[in-house]
Amino acid sequence: MKPAKLRRHLETKHKELSEKSQSFFKIKASELERSKKIIHKTATGTNNESAVLASYQVSLLIAKRASLTQLLKN
């Protein structure tokens, strides 16, 4: 965003932030990037693979149980 438009946006929409220094916003931007990395790491990490495997195993058990009840009904 252009600096003039950003300044106007801050003054009209976020009056409490318009007086903050540039370093405040740089710190907030770095905090956001850090949290994005943590979220991405959590979503694609090995814990996620374990969760997917567990989900498949549960689905398999449900499918087996459903097929057994269908066989017993016939």
Residues 16-45: tens digit of each pLDDT = 988 889 999 999 999 999 999 988 877 776
Residue 56 is assigned to a structural domain of this protein: yes
Look up the domain containing 32 and give its range. 22-73
Residue 51 is assigned to a structural domain of this protein: yes
* pLDDT score of 57 more than 90: yes
Residue 65 is assigned to a structural domain of this protein: yes
State if pTM tops 0.85.
no
Region of 53 (left: φ > 0; alpha: ψ -120 to 50; beta: rest) is: alpha
* pLDDT score of 49 more than 80: no
Average pLDDT over every residue of 55-68:
85
More confident residue, 65 or 56: 56
Whole-number Å distance between alpha carbons of 46 and 21: 40
- If one counts the domains in the chain, the total is 1
**pLDDT of res. 73:** 67
* pLDDT score of 74 more than 80: no
Residue 67 is assigned to a structural domain of this protein: yes
